[in-house]
Structure 1
Amino acid sequence: MGLSTQEIMQLSLDLVDWGAVPADSQIYVPGERIESALVGIDLESPEVQLAEREGYDLALAHHPVGEGARLEFTDVLDRQIEFMTVHGVPESEAEAAIADLREDVELGAHSSNYRHDPSVAELLEQPYMNIHLAPDEIGRRRFVEIAEDMDDGSSVGEFVDALAGIPELGEAATDVEVRVGEEGNDLGEVAVHHAAGTNGGADVARAYFENEIDTVLYIHVGAGDARELRGEFEDKNLVVTGHIASDAIGLNVLIDALEERGVDCTPISGCGIGRP
């Protein structure tokens, strides 16, 4: 009875038809016969201790915390180049657009205490893992479907309303926001930039805007990046869906799949938004 941590990781891959575990997802402490899981967007040392104390068979986090998932996180940033080139950004421009981001991520990971949370789980012998990219890919595909279903001549505001129809976004405390542009603007061609590790900041959005993309979708953006873009582009649009609500889209699909296979899931830390 129950699933192993390896089977749970494989389940996440099956949901998106992938054959290999992404660099940002990792099993820190393996487990067998898992029938209950504490599932959250951020599960760190306190939540690992909570899972052990309350008798959960697994602590399942979304965001990466351990050495492999953190130190190799830059590998998933290559998807940002892939997404940009699909929308007509020359590869050399796409690579330049993420150069600073790649360095920031690499140096940040190098300085982090990547052993902290996994070592607590190891001491407690508490099975612990994170699954990041696959659930985000589920959310990305949902956003792409909505963008592709928009009629020619649609406004940015109509796109915002359609996105808000996703239960996780519609029921969140945060709203879908237009951080650059206006809701009355023409939507035009949309680039969904999600499920590539993190957002691309001003540099990636600029690369899209300078290559005839009218609207970019991020799930979060920094205030400085938004101000920088507003100062440069009067007729372009950056739509931001909300970090935690957007992460919940794919995680809820994963939770449903786990429960269908007999794993009783308790969602915390942002999971469960929009679930019945």
Structure 2
Amino acid sequence: MSLALATAGLEDVPEDSGIIYDSGKPIKKAMFGVDMEAAELLIAKELGYDAVITHHPKGGSPMVNLYKVMENQIERMVQAGVPINRAQKALEERKGEVERASHVGNFDRAVSAARALNMTFIGIHTPADIIAEKTVQEHLNRSLRRNPKAKLKDVLEVLRKLPEYAKVPAGPVIRVGSEESYAGKVWVTMAGGTGGGKEVAKAYFEAGVGTLVVMHMPENVIKAVKEQNIGNVVVAGHMSSDSVGINRIIAALESKGLEITRMSGVISPD
């Protein structure tokens, strides 16, 4: 966990991450996937792994407390020029929805499997998302800085230069706008638990963002953003975007001698 925090530039473990179950055994070999639950824990046990690392919170307090890290979206909105009071209010509705949904979930399902198998189970969510957000934003900034009239087709082309987006079944797509739409200010928002909803998107656009690049966006939010008729949305791809951050954490773990196997949605950069 400390390596993941250091790679993301964090000091404290976010509420949606942490050691979900600790077998107490040394870790030399681990499986790392986007969604790791009972089935993956059993596979890991059968194949002789010491630990399973899940990106999405799949149990315990990281699952229940997912909504708490959504506060990080306020800082990201402020960086884009959204007034802090406006950012807070824009996030309130969606944050409440996530809290209520997390509260009724089965927080013990995967944890009890890890306990029965005595398999160390770790969740690393926000650290990976922060790394992905920063990596993709810097990549877009470098590639588009000399093209003030960049269009959405240019944004897609630049994204596909990152290996995680290059050759996947569900890569970058335009959900609001068209290939010929001017991108304007391109802003990546991939951290903060989950999507902030239609009011957060509107706050970004009203603050001068022309195009939001996100991991995913549900249909009702896409519909609302189209009706707002202010900005564009590029959905970069969920597994691809998660993999951008995860791969950099895996590189840090491997540099310390750990053997890591990618699975369940983690796209190899090679």
Q: TM-score under structure 1 normalisation?
A: 0.92
Match of 1:232 among 219, 222, 228: 228
Could you tell me which residue of structure 2 aligns to residue 269 of structure 1? Answer: 264
Match of 2:17 among 22, 25, 29: 25
Match of 1:246 among 232, 241, 248: 241
Could you tell me which residue of structure 1 aligns to residue 29 of structure 2? Answer: 36
Match of 1:89 among 72, 82, 87: 82
Conserved? CA contact 1:169–1:274, under 8 Å: no
Conserved? CA contact 1:71–1:109, under 8 Å: yes
- Matched to 2:203, the amino acid is A
Could you tell me which residue of structure 2 aligns to residue 48 of structure 1? Answer: 41
Q: Which sits farther off after the overlay, 91-100 or 240-249?
A: 91-100
| Residue 153 in structure 1 maps to residue 149 in structure 2 | yes
| Residue 212 in structure 1 maps to residue 208 in structure 2 | yes
1:138 and 1:10 map into 2 onto residues whose CA distance is: 14
Alignment of 1:1-276 (within 5 A): 9-30=1-22, 31-149=24-142, 150=144, 151=146, 152-233=148-229, 236-271=231-266, 273-276=267-270
Q: Which sits farther off after the overlay, 165-174 or 86-95?
A: 86-95
Q: Percent identity?
A: 32
Conserved? CA contact 1:171–1:274, under 8 Å: no
**Offset at 1:87?**
1.3
User: CA offsets per residue over residues 196-234 of structure 1, 9 Å max, x none?
Assistant: 11112222111111222111111100112112211221x
Unpaired segments ≥5 residues, structure 1 = 1-8
User: CA offsets per residue over residues 77-113 of structure 1, 9 Å max, x none?
Assistant: 0111111111121222211211111111111111111
2:149 and 2:30 map into 1 onto residues whose CA distance is: 46
Q: TM-score under structure 2 normalisation?
A: 0.94
Displacement over 6 Å in runs of 4+: none
Query: SS at 1:217's partner residue?
Result: strand
Conserved? CA contact 2:95–2:196, under 8 Å: no
**Aligned residues, how many?**
266
